[in-house]
Structure 1
Amino acid sequence: MAQEYKLKDITSFADIAPMEKIECEVEGVPEGKVLVLKHDGQVHALGAHCTHYGAPMKLGVVAPDGRITCPWHGACFKISTGDVEDAPAPNALNKFDVFEKNGAVYIRGTEADIKAGQRNPVIKCSVSQPEERVVIVGGGSGTLGVVQTLRELKYPGHITMISREPNLIIDRTKLSKALIADASKIEWRPKEWYDEAAIETISDEVTAVDFEKKSVSTRSGKDIPYTKLVLATGGEPRLLPLPGFKAGELGNIFTLRGVADVQAILGAAGSGKKNVVVVGSSFIGMEVGNALSKDHSVTIVGMESAPMERVMGAEVGRVFQKNLEKNGIVFKLSAGVAKAEASASNAQSVGAVHLKDGTVLPADLVVLGVGVRPATDFLRDNASISLEKDGSIATDTHFAVPGLDNSVFAIGDIATFPYRGPGADVANGGSPTRIEHWNVAQNSGRGVARAIVHSRRSSLSSLPAKAFIPIFWSALGAQLRYCGNTVHGYDDVLLRGEPENGKFVAYYSKGDTIVAVATMGVDPVMAKSAELMRRGNMPSKKEIVDGVDVLQVGVPEGIRM
């Protein structure tokens, strides 16, 4: 039963400045804390920690339109309700009545709710409109965004999720960062959650789609009808078309996409120090290398002069390199791979990687981090849909596939959608863009769910597209945060802070427009930048050069954020 609890740290609403955030202890609740903030003249009390990875929301970013964004990974909540606004938050924040009484500030709630700080936004439900059937093909971040948001919005029809992965939806970001081999430890939701939400989960592979009959076929022989179809099959790791690297040629050469891949990598690494060669200085490659470097000798081979040079710039790339070198990792950069060679003791397994300059790297195992391609092979010969040159699927702003009567959507790694953030051709509806980020997939999935629910009662054309800015993060000896998009190019990088100590803010500009921001060790600059980009208020390159403080943009005078 709800009770009244007195808050420490504040005695009056007058103690709280506009947009200020105060983390308060709750008297009588051991370790109980809430976040109290004032927005638009109203005082609110919410759970104190982000529901994603537990970031302190006192460092979050408050937006004028009533949102608060996590300082770490961009999860966003509605201040008035605590509801999820943007990925990657799985749960809503608990919201508490807050009031003044007898010269103190109180909240009303239960001890359990205060301690939890969060709530499942999906309640138990059953199917009341069985003629409506949403089928989602894929089992990743985008699918989580679709199925959860459909039920948050009280969609009454069938929901079926078909994934070729043997596990339920996992936090895939932890595979490369932590090499977790037990799917149960990183599943976002247990099987009971899907059952209670009336979400059917099928472990199978979709092999074909009949867009005219509105049906998908699976490898096991099932034909599953749909009224709305969401394609969310993700990416397929690329292989190297070089001697020794081709599929089936040599053992102990791995890519990383699922839990089974982690199990195979760890099995090959085994006990004892091994020589590990990572081909590709990509984020995945560097994360895997960093995780393995604790117990093994790791060499990372990259074609650029600095890791991620094309995307992040050479100076920022060298920060990553320096961080990982501290962990004992050796880099071979500006290097090309020639072939993989079998082990002298086992002709079926890799023993060395040869570089084009003649260098031979001993290798007990090899991990390829050379990118992914859209997993759309099952659609290549389908006359009803045209794939882009890279194998992706073009969509509109709602991620609907044109020409299929708003009944088919594509999200995540397989979608090329009209990006409308900074640097894009907004005047002409956006720039066609494909982005392989966890948050983009989940936010696009949430957008598709809103579109499906909206289309039940009105034309999809009447639904405004919800803006979101791409966000990703990486663990490279320190936590990297990034927002925006440099896919369409940048011409300068403004580096601020102490990059030599791994603490910096990098502003990527195209002309006078800041198109992306990367940070290490200076939370929450990235989250604030993403909010400013979303609202079209990001400072210009000139303003950054002139010394504007991004964290103070839009903050009332006299208040330091």
Structure 2
Amino acid sequence: MAQEYKLKGVTSLDLKPGDKQEVEVEGLEAKVLLLNAAGTVQAIGPRCTHYGAPLVKGILGTNGKLTCPWHGACFNAKTGDIEDAPALNALPVFKTTQRDGAVYITGDAETIKSGNRKPTFKCSTAGASQPDKVVVVGGGSGALGVTEGLREGGFTGQITVISNEGYLPIDRPKLSKALLTDLKKLQWRDEEWYKTTANIDIVQDEVTGVDFAAKTVATKSGANIAYTKLVLSTGGTPRLLPLQGFKVLGNIFTLRNVHDVNKIVAAIGEQKGKKIVIIGSSFIGMEIAVCTSGGNDVSVVGMEKAPLERVLGEKVGNIIRKNVEAKGVKFYMSAGVDKAEPSGSDPSNVGYVILKDGTKLDADIVILGVGVAPATEYLKDNSVVRLESDGSLKTDEAFAVVGLKDVYALGDIATYPYHGPGGEGKYVRIEHWNVAQNAGRTAARHINSPHLKPEFFTPVFWSALGAQLRYCGNTQANGWDDVVMQGNPDEGKWIAYYTKGDTVVAMASMGADPAMAQSAQRMQLHKMPSKKDFEGGLDILSLGPPQ
């Protein structure tokens, strides 16, 4: 039941557009965020509904968009609704009243305490003779974005998600960052939510083909599922090494799903001191190195000069390397792998990894982090669809597949035109959790309202690499030719601005929140400062809310 509560220490609603403050609610062990969202002063939930970041440290634009300082989730501060992933629940909004030198909010006590607003949907298709039916292939981040976006936007037709993973959609980043296996902690929503709240059918099966003319999807169990709109979001397939020993020896793993993590955790066991060799200095490989380093002997083998060099460059890669080495991880860079050999005591399991220069690494466990390929095997023999050279599907800005009617592609399997700074509409394929989920939300808006022009969203990712790395923008479209560094890496506080000419196309940071959130908003609005500005020492947080 809604009632009025006084805000502690607040005497007026005199806030300028973009101003915000976190305040306590008298009589409740709770806080709210008081803000001026594009001229509207009100109170909302104070923490991001993704991982609980304090939104008072986020960026509130004068357009009313509030961006989380940690992972780029964006909310409409007027309505509390989600603008960008990775948050799934909206923020509650509370009416504010000023009288007698005090400020009050009106709301339900439990909602104020939770700071969270779970979505409610109208999903009934009763009375519809031929209701729309969206079929989503894949149960990952893209599926989360499109299904929740559809229902939030008022879609009342049938939604079916077909997933071969054996569980409900999960928070996949926690797999490599924490080797988490508990489905209760991984699954975003429980089965009852899908059945009752969202009226979404989850089918545990594997898609084997699509008849685009008949608008049906065939599955391994023999089912043929009809659709009016089809969303393909099957993610990536981890790459293997076609080298001696890697296909036949045990205790060699890839990491993509909960089943993989269960195998890795079982192989590591409770006893410390395992010799773990990670092949690949990508984000997956580096995150696994960090989360397995406690008490184990961990080595990373990479072909690059520095970890993550392809994305972050050699200079920043070596900053990351130093952080991870502090965890006890050893690196073998500019190194090629020759073969894997068994141990003398157990010929069925890996015992050594041999590098091309002859270096022999003891290995109880080997984990491959050498990239993924678009998981589109079920389309390779389809005469109607055209796959790109890497196996992905080419889409437009709404993530509708080019050349196919009523079909969308999301996430790791989508190559789409990039209109961010320096992008110039060039086609890119970005393997980020946030990109897949935001692509799903974009596709959902297009399905619900095809007349609306798709909005550009800034790609964001984060990584646990001895400290929290934040990144936004994109360098794949046209590359970068310089990096402007600010801060002191030795103190763990720095920002790297990646530039092409005078245009900042991406940024990475550690210990500098909310610089990424500020940059993401400005990139979306095409109001990012120039390379010359940052070379001159400009602090992006000194600029205030984006206009």
Q: TM-score range by the shorter chain?
A: over 0.9
Amino acid across the alignment from 2:141: S
- Aligned equivalent of 1:175: 175
Unaligned runs of 5+ in 1: 455-459
User: SS of the residue aligned with 2:104?
Assistant: strand
Task: Give the Cα–Cα distance (whole angstroms) in 1 for the partners of residues 230 and 240 of structure 2.
Answer: 30
User: SS of the residue aligned with 1:463?
Assistant: coil
Amino acid across the alignment from 1:115: K
Confirm or deny: 8 A CA contact 2:238 2:370 kept in the other structure: yes
Task: Give the Cα–Cα distance (whole angstroms) in 2 for the partners of residues 496 and 531 of structure 1.
Answer: 20
Confirm or deny: 8 A CA contact 1:319 1:502 kept in the other structure: no
- Aligned equivalent of 1:78: 76
- Aligned equivalent of 1:416: 415
Alignment of 1:535-546 (within 5 A): 535-546=525-536
Judge which range, 542-551 or 93-102, deviates more: 542-551
- Aligned equivalent of 2:231: 230
- Aligned equivalent of 2:150: 150
Confirm or deny: 8 A CA contact 1:352 1:360 kept in the other structure: yes
Alignment of 1:155-554 (within 5 A): 155-196=155-196, 197-246=198-247, 249-272=248-271, 273-405=273-405, 407-425=406-424, 430-454=425-449, 460=450, 462-487=451-476, 488-554=478-544
- Aligned equivalent of 1:457: none
Instruction: Kindly state the Cα deviation for residue 500 of structure 1 after the two structures are TM-superposed.
Output: 2.0
Judge which range, 477-486 or 540-549, deviates more: 540-549
User: SS of the residue aligned with 1:313?
Assistant: helix
User: SS of the residue aligned with 1:98?
Assistant: strand
CA shift digits 1:228-250 (9 cap, x unpaired): 0000000000001111113xx11
Alignment of 1:10-159 (within 5 A): 10-14=10-14, 16-30=15-29, 32-123=30-121, 125-128=123-126, 129=128, 130-159=130-159
Instruction: Kindly state the Cα deviation for residue 132 of structure 1 after the two structures are TM-superposed.
Output: 1.1
User: SS of the residue aligned with 2:281?
Assistant: coil
Confirm or deny: 8 A CA contact 1:140 1:170 kept in the other structure: yes
Task: Give the Cα–Cα distance (whole angstroms) in 1 for the partners of residues 486 and 140 of structure 2.
Answer: 35
CA shift digits 1:281-306 (9 cap, x unpaired): 11100101111111311001111111
Amino acid across the alignment from 2:517: A
Task: Give the Cα–Cα distance (whole angstroms) in 2 for the partners of residues 74 and 279 of structure 1.
Answer: 30
CA shift digits 1:137-158 (9 cap, x unpaired): 0000000001111111121111
Task: Give the Cα–Cα distance (whole angstroms) in 2 for the partners of residues 310 and 367 of structure 1.
Answer: 20
Task: Give the Cα–Cα distance (whole angstroms) in 2 for the partners of residues 59 and 9 of structure 1.
Answer: 20
Residues 215, 555 of structure 1: alpha-carbon distance in 2 compared, 3 angstrom cutoff: closer
Instruction: Kindly state the Cα deviation for residue 17 of structure 1 after the two structures are TM-superposed.
Output: 3.5
CA shift digits 1:537-556 (9 cap, x unpaired): 00010111122221232549
Confirm or deny: 8 A CA contact 2:146 2:444 kept in the other structure: yes
CA shift digits 1:434-492 (9 cap, x unpaired): 000000000000011111111xxxxx3x3211110000000001000000001131000
CA shift digits 1:242-281 (9 cap, x unpaired): 11113xx111000000000000001111132210000001
User: SS of the residue aligned with 1:195?
Assistant: helix
CA shift digits 1:375-418 (9 cap, x unpaired): 0011001011000000000001110012222x000000000000
Task: Give the Cα–Cα distance (whole angstroms) in 2 for the partners of residues 113 and 554 of structure 1.
Answer: 31
User: SS of the residue aligned with 2:446?
Assistant: helix
User: SS of the residue aligned with 2:528?
Assistant: coil
Confirm or deny: 8 A CA contact 1:47 1:93 kept in the other structure: yes
Instruction: Kindly state the Cα deviation for residue 318 of structure 1 after the two structures are TM-superposed.
Output: 1.2
Task: Give the Cα–Cα distance (whole angstroms) in 2 for the partners of residues 503 and 548 of structure 1.
Answer: 16
User: SS of the residue aligned with 1:207?
Assistant: strand
Confirm or deny: 8 A CA contact 2:305 2:333 kept in the other structure: yes
User: SS of the residue aligned with 1:452?
Assistant: helix
Task: Give the Cα–Cα distance (whole angstroms) in 1 for the partners of residues 312 and 81 of structure 2.
Answer: 34
Amino acid across the alignment from 2:235: G
Confirm or deny: 8 A CA contact 2:59 2:545 kept in the other structure: no
Task: Give the Cα–Cα distance (whole angstroms) in 2 for the partners of residues 145 and 556 of structure 1.
Answer: 26
User: SS of the residue aligned with 1:92?
Assistant: coil
CA shift digits 1:58-102 (9 cap, x unpaired): 011112322101000010111111011110011000100011011
Task: Give the Cα–Cα distance (whole angstroms) in 2 for the partners of residues 555 and 140 of structure 1.
Answer: 33
Task: Give the Cα–Cα distance (whole angstroms) in 2 for the partners of residues 243 and 173 of structure 1.
Answer: 31
Task: Give the Cα–Cα distance (whole angstroms) in 1 for the partners of residues 306 and 92 of structure 2.
Answer: 44
Task: Give the Cα–Cα distance (whole angstroms) in 2 for the partners of residues 91 and 347 of structure 1.
Answer: 50
Instruction: Kindly state the Cα deviation for residue 310 of structure 1 after the two structures are TM-superposed.
Output: 2.1
Judge which range, 442-451 or 497-506, deviates more: 497-506
Instruction: Kindly state the Cα deviation for residue 110 of structure 1 after the two structures are TM-superposed.
Output: 1.3
Amino acid across the alignment from 1:445: G
- Aligned equivalent of 1:7: 7
Confirm or deny: 8 A CA contact 2:17 2:62 kept in the other structure: no
Confirm or deny: 8 A CA contact 1:49 1:117 kept in the other structure: yes
Task: Give the Cα–Cα distance (whole angstroms) in 1 for the partners of residues 286 and 167 of structure 2.
Answer: 25
Task: Give the Cα–Cα distance (whole angstroms) in 1 for the partners of residues 461 and 55 of structure 2.
Answer: 18
Amino acid across the alignment from 1:506: A
CA shift digits 1:333-392 (9 cap, x unpaired): 111111110111111110000001110000001000000000001100101100000000
Confirm or deny: 8 A CA contact 2:81 2:91 kept in the other structure: yes
Confirm or deny: 8 A CA contact 2:301 2:333 kept in the other structure: yes
Confirm or deny: 8 A CA contact 1:83 1:121 kept in the other structure: no
User: SS of the residue aligned with 2:154?
Assistant: coil
Task: Give the Cα–Cα distance (whole angstroms) in 1 for the partners of residues 28 and 514 of structure 2.
Answer: 29
Task: Give the Cα–Cα distance (whole angstroms) in 1 for the partners of residues 343 and 223 of structure 2.
Answer: 44
Task: Give the Cα–Cα distance (whole angstroms) in 2 for the partners of residues 42 and 415 of structure 1.
Answer: 38
Confirm or deny: 8 A CA contact 1:74 1:87 kept in the other structure: yes
Task: Give the Cα–Cα distance (whole angstroms) in 1 for the partners of residues 293 and 491 of structure 2.
Answer: 21
Judge which range, 278-287 or 36-45, deviates more: 36-45
Task: Give the Cα–Cα distance (whole angstroms) in 2 for the partners of residues 40 and 494 of structure 1.
Answer: 33
Residues 556, 120 of structure 1: alpha-carbon distance in 2 compared, 3 angstrom cutoff: closer
User: SS of the residue aligned with 1:149?
Assistant: helix
Task: Give the Cα–Cα distance (whole angstroms) in 2 for the partners of residues 353 and 117 of structure 1.
Answer: 50
Confirm or deny: 8 A CA contact 1:207 1:219 kept in the other structure: yes
Give aligned pairs, total: 542
Residues 556, 165 of structure 1: alpha-carbon distance in 2 compared, 3 angstrom cutoff: closer
User: SS of the residue aligned with 2:168?
Assistant: coil
CA shift digits 1:149-201 (9 cap, x unpaired): 11111211110000000010000000000001122221000001100111000
Unaligned runs of 5+ in 2: none
User: SS of the residue aligned with 1:119?
Assistant: coil
